[in-house]
Amino acid sequence: MKNVLKLGVIGLSEGNGHPYSWSTIFNGYNPDEMKKSAFPNIVSYLKKQKFPEDQITDATISHAWTQDPAITQNIAESCNISNTPENYTDFIGEVDAILLARDDHENHHEISKPFLNAGLPIFIDKPLATSSQSANDIFDLQTYEGQIFTCSALRFAEELYPSPQELQEIGPITHIMGSTVKSWDKYAIHLIEPVINFLGFNSNISEIKTSKIGETVSVIAKWDNDIITEFQAMGHNVKKGPIRITYYGENGYVTKEFTDPFSAFKTALMHFVETVRSSTIAIPKTETLKVINIIEEGLK
């Protein structure tokens, strides 16, 4: 029987409920306490799951910290977390790995540094950074290759990819278009990473162009296989809407929407736990940088 890993979770950034959702995947949850959180969408999709059957059982969230003690306490009570130290550096020596569940990328370097220096594996929420320079500054803190695990969990969202039958029906892919609400810097990665994963991370861009109108950002790229991709983030003026990717082939098209956050998060977290146990690299640094390069392009 595997020993149960102890994880520490760090939050919270505005609009991002990952400290709740990720912790629930390991620890289960208290519905009454979860309802007190600011994330009714999480409450809604958790009702579709079965606990403890749907939990990851070989790791647990033992420690939690946020910059707001009241929110920390709510996360702990919602997600059955026992320890809420005053400082996140107090996790060192108490846990086996870290979940940095904040998407305020500008703080990733500062928060991750003590854990990287201590040799702890760390899952850093998307995006790791919004420039290749900032990303490399964080990667340079690693004490060993693969210490950092980072991605959009939508990389693992099966519902965003066309099935073999759909691909056969629409024919050879010529264009892929993805759209999301909210800001380019935080949300475009949910389009970029699945699409590059579909194309293959060995694919390279031969031509790229960015356009902006108001808060809406679009980046169009032509790849070395002649497929053209377009990624669009609509900005915060659009509050709600699907994350959607349309695949156009020579004979038709198919549109896929992100609908199952629990499964995507769980799969990403399972990959992280496996990297902690096996000291393997699930997502190479080169793949992360390829995604970030397109994010950076949209911010020029």
Element holding 216 (H helix, E strand)? strand 216-223
Going by C-alpha positions, the residue among 294, 118, 108, 266 that lies closest to residue 197 is 294
Asked whether this chain's domains 5-151+262-282 and 158-259 adopt the same fold, the reply is: no
When pLDDT is cut at 50, 70 and 90, the band that residue 297 belongs to is: very high
User: How far, CA to CA in Å, does 30 sit from each of 22, 226, 231?
Assistant: 14, 50, 38
Q: Which residue has the higher pLDDT, 238 or 147?
A: 147
Residue 191, pLDDT above cutoff 60:
yes
**pTM, whole model, 2 decimals?**
0.96
pLDDT at 237: 85
Residue 2, pLDDT above cutoff 80:
no
**What mean pLDDT is reported for the chain?**
97
Domain boundaries, the chain: 5-151+262-282, 158-259
Give per-residue pLDDT as tens, 269-289: 999 999 999 999 999 999 999
pLDDT at 236: 87
Record the tokens describing residue 132, joined without a space: 């290749």
Give per-residue pLDDT as tens, 26-79: 999 999 999 999 999 999 999 999 999 999 999 999 999 999 999 999 999 999
Q: Whole-angstrom distance between the N-terminal and C-terminal Cα of the chain?
A: 51
Mean of the pLDDT values across residues 20-27? 98
**Distance between CA atoms of 101 and 108, rounded to whole angstroms?**
10
**Phi, psi at residue 189, to the nearest 5°?**
-60, -30
- 3-state class of 297 per DSSP? helix
Look at the domain 5-151+262-282 and name its fold: Rossmann fold (3.40.50)
Give per-residue pLDDT as tens, 83-137: 999 999 999 999 999 999 999 999 999 999 999 999 999 999 999 999 999 999 9
Tracing tokens 């946020």 back to the chain, one arrives at 66
pLDDT at 266: 98
pLDDT at 1: 54
Residue 2 CB burial class (10 angstroms; 0-12, 13-18, ≥19): exposed
Query: In sequence order, which residues have a C-beta less than 8 Å from that of residue 149 and are 6 or more positions away?
Result: 121, 122, 123, 124, 271, 272, 275, 282, 283
Task: Say whether domain 158-259 belongs to CATH 3.30.360.10.
Answer: yes
